[in-house]
Amino acid sequence: MKVLITGGAGFIGSHLAEKLIERGDEVYIIDNLSTGRLENIKHLAKNENFHYTIDSIMNEKAMDNLASKCEHIYHLAAAVGVKLIMDKPIETIETNVRGTEIVLKVANRYKCKVLIASTSEIYGNHVLHSLHEDDNRVMGSVKKRRWAYAASKATDEFLALAYYDEKKLPVVITRFFNTVGPRQTGTYGMVIPNFIQDALLDKPITVYGDGDQSRSFTYVGDVVDAVIKLMSHPDAVGNIFNIGSEEEITINELASKVKEMAASKSAITHIPYEEVYGKGFEDMRKRVPNINRIKELIGYKSTADIDMIIKSVIEYFKS
179: pLDDT confidence band, cut at 50, 70 and 90? very high
Topology (CATH) of 2-183+217-246+289-302: Rossmann fold (3.40.50)
Q: What is the mean pLDDT of residues 144-170?
A: 93
Tens-place pLDDT, residues 242-299:
999 999 999 999 999 999 999 999 999 999 988 877 776 777 888 999 999 999 999 9
The CA distance from 87 to 109, in Å, is 35
Residue 66 to residues 2, 19, 21, 35, 146: CA-CA distances in angstroms? 10, 20, 17, 21, 33
Signed CA dihedral, 212, 82, 13, 64: sign only: positive
| pLDDT tops 80 at residue 85 | no
Domain residue spans in the chain? 2-183+217-246+289-302
Say what the pLDDT of residue 284 is: 82
* Helix, coil or strand: residue 72: strand
Say what the pLDDT of residue 189 is: 66
Tens-place pLDDT, residues 194-249:
999 999 999 999 999 999 999 999 999 999 999 999 999 999 999 999 999 999 99
Say what the pLDDT of residue 147 is: 85
Query: Is the separation of the CB atoms in 252 and 211 below 8 Å?
Result: yes
Say what the pLDDT of residue 81 is: 67
The CA distance from 73 to 113, in Å, is 6
Pick from 211, 185, 210: nearest CA to 196: 185
Side-chain-facing half-sphere of 89: CA atoms under 13 Å: 11
State the catalytic residues: 149
Backbone angles phi, psi at 314, to 5 degrees: -60, -45
Chain-wide mean pLDDT for the chain? 93
Q: In terms of C-beta density within 10 A (0-12 exposed, 13-18 middle, 19 or more buried), how is residue 243 classed?
A: buried
pTM of the model: 0.95
Say what the pLDDT of residue 280 is: 66
Strands (E) across the chain are located at 2-6, 26-31, 50-54, 72-75, 113-119, 171-176, 179-180, 205-208, 214-215, 218-219, 240-243, 249-250, 268-271, 286-287
Query: Is the separation of the CB atoms in 169 and 111 below 8 Å?
Result: yes
The CA distance from 66 to 31, in Å, is 12
Residue 110 backbone zone (phi > 0: left; psi -120 to 50: alpha; other: beta): alpha
Whole-number percent of the chain with pLDDT over 90: 80
The CA distance from 161 to 238, in Å, is 7
